[in-house]
Amino acid sequence: MSNRRIIPSPSVSSASQVGAPAGPDGGSKLKATLGLLRQVRFSARDQMALLLMIGLLGAGSLLSDVFLTPRNLLNILWAVSVLGIVAVGQTVLLVTGNFDMSVSMVVPFAGIVCVGLQIAGGGLWSSMLAGLLAAMLVGLLNGVIVVMTRANPFLITFGTQTLVYAVALILTEARTWYATIPAFNVLGRGTFFGVLHYSVAIFLGLAILVQFFLRRTPYGRYLYVLGLNEEAGRLSGVLVNRVKVLAFTFCGFTAGLAGLIMTSRLNSTRASGAQGMDFDSIIAVVLGGTSLFGGSGGTLRTVVGVMVLGILNNVMVLAGVPYDAQWIAKGLVFVLVVWADRFFRRDK
């Protein structure tokens, strides 16, 4: 319930009213049952990703005995955690009705800055900080350009994506760079008690933290206002531009964090290291149920969306689907989910 739009649309509230215990005189059980059914229907359309996940889990358990073991599920979480961290930042942006396509190149770029500094003799912490700052700088740049020109964020960040890629290629001369500080590996490969990877913990922790931030703090609320009605936000005193720039910068930050984890996991980085992550992160967010048009959703939903993508991948590998066909599956799922989202919204 906590994941609902902050300004409930009429039918949402009516659904919950009907679902609530029937009125004093209405006492008929039929009405209550109908209301309950309606509410279930509402939740079903609201929680499509959860249903999809359960379905995929069922399919996976049919395909293989080892699929539904905690170990495999943790492995899936580990595999998607980098994407998940990016998706958390992307969620914050999508809530405001913006996108960041540059993440797919910012992720390796943060690694390149970090490893480059290590090669040049920098320390562990300073190199990691530099990587994060570089990523945040790109986010800031995206935000400033979008705010100043009111241009389509999609194309602007597509442009910065190419720009960052070019800069990364120039810096690395299109070679793979290897990290030089052994302790750097801990970030991507270390675990709590040999069970829970740090990266998974960071992903889930960040998702919970950001969800709390979105729901319970003024700034979090502003983000929804931006997505719902920017003009109304401006008129009621929200510093619209500043909030938007901060959202872009935060998205850059998560991309940088993901980049550091990915680099540390592979112990290396190259300019094209995260190709497709732009699209994947947006799919994950939308799969989770955050609207493409802003104003709704949250990061806990994104966790489910990311898990669906991970499980889908795992199931397809188990089913022996050729690797390249996964693009088709992801594209189809994406189109279907967006279409269903539109369909149900029109229905309301």
Partner 1 sequence: MGRESFAERLWGVLAKHTIIIVLVGLIIVFAVACPQVFLSGENIQNVARQISFDVIAAFGELVCLIAAGVDLSVGSTLAMAAALTMGLQGYGVGVAVGAALAMGLVVGAFNGLLVTKGRIVPFIATLGSMEIVYGAMLTYTGQRPIPGRSEWFASIGNGSVGPVPLPTVIMLVLLGTFHVLLNYTRFGRNMYAAGGNPEAARLAGVQVDRYRFWAFVLSGFCAALSGVLLASRLNSATIHMGLQTPLFVIAACIMGGASMLSGRGTAVGAALGVLALTILSNGMDLLGIFTYYQMAIRAIILIFVVAVDAFYVSTVHKRLATASAIGAKRAERRSIPRQQC
Give the residues lining the site for partner 1 (CB under 8 A). 145, 148-152, 154-156, 158-163, 165-167, 169-170, 174, 279, 282, 292, 322, 324-332, 334-335, 338-339, 342-343, 346
Nearer to partner 1, 192 or 293 (CB): 293
Q: How far is the CB of 260 from partner 1 (least distance, A)?
A: 24
User: Does residue 298 contact residue 214 with C-beta atoms inside 8 Å?
Assistant: yes
Q: How far is the CB of 282 from partner 1 (least distance, A)?
A: 8
Identify residue 154 by its one-letter amino acid code: F
Nearer to partner 1, 167 or 200 (CB): 167
The continuous run of DSSP H or E covering 191 comes out as strand 191-192
Nearer to partner 1, 115 or 141 (CB): 141
Q: How far is the CB of 166 from partner 1 (least distance, A)?
A: 4
DSSP secondary structure letters along 112-166: HHHHHHHHTT--HHHHHHHHHHHHHHHHHHHHHHHHHH---HHHHHHHHHHHHHH
Q: How far is the CB of 105 from partner 1 (least distance, A)?
A: 10
Distances (CA, A) of 177 to 174, 194, 276: 9, 28, 20
Alpha-carbon gap, residue 17 to 114, rounded angstroms: 54
User: Does residue 292 contact residue 338 with C-beta atoms inside 8 Å?
Assistant: yes
Nearer to partner 1, 75 or 275 (CB): 275
Nearer to partner 1, 184 or 334 (CB): 334
Question: How many CB atoms within 10 Å of residue 223?
Answer: 28
Q: How far is the CB of 174 from partner 1 (least distance, A)?
A: 8
Given the structure tokens 């359960």, which residue do they identify? 54
Q: How far is the CB of 300 from partner 1 (least distance, A)?
A: 23
Nearer to partner 1, 183 or 336 (CB): 336
User: Does residue 49 contact residue 304 with C-beta atoms inside 8 Å?
Assistant: yes
